[in-house]
Chain A
Amino acid sequence: MKIPLKYNLGSLWVRRVGTLMTALGIGLTVSIAITMMALVNGLDSTFVETGHPNQLIVIRDGALNEVNSYFNRDLFQTVRLLAGIAKDEQGEPMAAGEIIVVINHPRLTGESSNVIVRGTSAMGLKLRPEARLVQGRWFQRGLREIVVSESLSNRFQSMRLGDTLHMSRSDWKVVGVFNAAGTAYDSEILADYEEIAQDWDRPIYTSILLRATDAPAFAQIRQRIADDRRIHLQAVDQKEYFRGQTVSSAGIKALGFFIAMMMGVGSSFAAMNMMYGSIMSRSKEVGTLRALGFSRWSILSSFMVESILLALLGGVLGCLMALPLHGISTGTANFVTFSEILFNFRITPKMLLLGMLFAATVGVFGGGLPALRAARTNLINALRD
């Protein structure tokens, strides 16, 4: 025989102030756990969603990333003419030689961070169709012009359309603002390759971005570059390259896990306290239930259910408290390129589900011992109380 759920709901309602306080405590725990997950997920998916299939990034052999890489300009011609590289409408091979430099620049809040400036070309833009102009126009050669991502423009000083930014030896004019659909390129400033190489006095390429015609050509180009011992280059799958940068979130992941665990322990004890209090104050009721013929097992499961219900109420509150964070933009250090990476908090249905599961776990831990205690109630003693 099962004790009806109505009984549990009723007893939670009778102690509504205590119920709400405990649920709120669990809710805050859940909301912090979801926040940390949303932070990690936002950062990770920024990297995971960057890149296109069949595109390769060519960097110096042994370099771990574009920022570490550099090679002579003549190598670009060798790579550009490899068979299997896709052609654009004009019949030009789709390969762009690029340079990355880094500037240390103040945010609107005053603290400085490193920002990637990419010297590229019209071909480079073609290979990144996700980068779309939202304001102004693209840069032109010879005019010291830059185009800034929307996220950078909202976060750093003098990066609005029309602003002038001093970089290296020149003043650069912001002539456009772009949006790269939440990819890692949303953390970059774009300019003309020749101008950046000249102004930084670095007549080199740091990387080549290229597109293969299809998957077999992709594998072939990759192999050919690896096999050519004279050029000392390596070609990396563009998607894999960015996926590798998710190591940047390892610290936040560990910190988030630790925080959620400790808060979970704290809330479990709090829920246990509440359940003990609630069960002790109705020992007569429990005795009556036993007298009515409800088994120890149904009493145990009924109180477990009550505790889980209490915790799930907290879980719902936690999800509601965390949801407004979705989409908020923030930034941290990319540990691979050592510069600012911008991303949005991203809450997925899976996270809300995990949050509810986390709450239920707190309910199980908090309710277990008190429910056992209730199930063990001695009928005679309880009714005599």
Chain B
Amino acid sequence: MKYSWLLLKNVLRNRRRSLLTITSIAASLFLVTALLTLLWELKNPGQTPESALRLVTRHKVSLFNTLPIAYRGKIARVEGVEAVIGSMWFGGVYKDPSNFFAQFSVDADQFFEVNADMRMPEDQKEAFKKDRTGAIAGKNVAERFGWKIGDKIHLKGALFQFDPELTLRGIYDGGSDDGGSLYFHWDYFNEGINNAGFTGTFAIRARSAEEVPKVAERIDALFENASVPTKTETERAFLLGFLSMMGNIQFLITSICSVVIFTIILVASNTMAMSIRERVREIGVLKALGFRSGQILAMLLGESVVLALAGALLGAFTARWLFASLNLPALTGGFVQKLNVGPGILSLCALIGILVGVLAAGVPAWRASQRPAVEALRRVA
């Protein structure tokens, strides 16, 4: 540490080169941060303490098969179930098919017991429950379309021959969908489909987290031999099912990240090789002055690590700042609700920076430190 001033002086010796290296690494690490955060958000959908209590029941064959609403009463009586609501994907069109967002018809009476992690004023909750054609929308959706409470929202049915005419009664934040959906009354929906009496899924709140696996088993056992068998899983597992449908995203993203990191190692090692080559004689002088090989190696490695780490942190923090200030749902048409660059990813980026620094300077620094002073001084740079 005694020689850190020397190390810093060396970093600043060729300012343009250092700046270019740092910017190049920063651009790459910005990309890595964005990709890793996207992957993390996809793999950890809406995690709140509440979401650990939630389960989803669907038809055993697939989500495309519906369940009779009569199952609601039977599920409500299962031991460990605190609240249960029917929830049906509506998939309607708002003005234009490109305005895609999730819409569900739900049992409003116990909706807020199941979704206790949705933040919304009590009076809005009551207003929604009371109005059969009322709807509530997530903050992100409402912002995207400029909706205010009291606005009329007309949806055109695509899966169903029913065009609900809704009135916005509340705007929520949070919840497992991060304010990205619209909910309206299942009763109203059922009336629109000639009282066919079905739902896509049931959302369940268990009494305690310990009981969650048992509740799932009990529900599925109840309908095992019925003509409509069920599959019950945790909300997290249910949501991760959608990620697995998208194919091997994890492989795609991790391989791109590895390629990017490899590219930065090339960039940084090129820089370090250039800068070490230029001062072979200088290193010889240091040796002649009595610096040991180890000290020189440490100094050169340190220099490289400082450069790479600066680039990595610049990239990661720029990403963190940028994603926090951009309106991502509007930019991505609702596909990405948020990209929260957490401390885990920031530390991972720092680690990548250190690793890149060490690997990049490794070979040239080792060679330079091992070269005898006499030979180094004899060299014409």
Contact = CB atoms under 8 A, between A and B. Distances in A.
Given A63-B159, A266-B263, A273-B20, A103 B271 contact: no
Contacts of A295: none
Nearest to B331: A254
A113 B17 contact: no
A17 interface: yes
Contacts of A168: 61
Interface residues of B, number: 50
A254 B270 CA distance: 31
A312 to B, nearest CB: 17
Among A169, A273, A331: residue with most chain B CB under 10 A: A273
Contacts of B159: 63, 68
A217 interface: no
Contacts of A330: 247-248
Contacts of B269: 21
Contact of A269 (B27, B93, B97): B27
Interface string B160-183: 010000000000000000000000
Contacts of B263: 25, 28-29, 263, 266-267, 270
Among A167, A267, A277, A333: residue with most chain B CB under 10 A: A277
A263 B21 CA distance: 14
Contacts of A102: 62-64
B246 to A, nearest CB: 5
Given A21-B266, A114-B64, A273-B271, A32 B256 contact: yes
Interface residues of A, number: 55
A67 interface: yes
Given A265-B27, A332-B246, A62 B156 contact: yes
B64 A273 contact: no
A371 interface: no
Contacts of B335: 251
A157 to B, nearest CB: 14
A251 B248 CA distance: 14
B23 interface: yes
Among B24, B35, B273: residue with most chain A CB under 10 A: B24
Interface of B: 16-17, 20-21, 23-25, 27-28, 30-31, 34-35, 61-65, 91, 93, 97, 156-159, 161, 227, 241-242, 244-248, 256, 259-260, 262-264, 266-267, 269-271, 273-274, 278, 332, 335
Given A102-B62, A258-B34, 6 more contacts: A21-B267, A29-B263, A101-B65, A114-B62, A270-B267, A276-B16
11 contacts: A28-B259, A28-B262, A101-B65, A102-B63, A113-B244, A167-B61, A168-B61, A263-B263, A330-B248, A332-B246, A332-B247
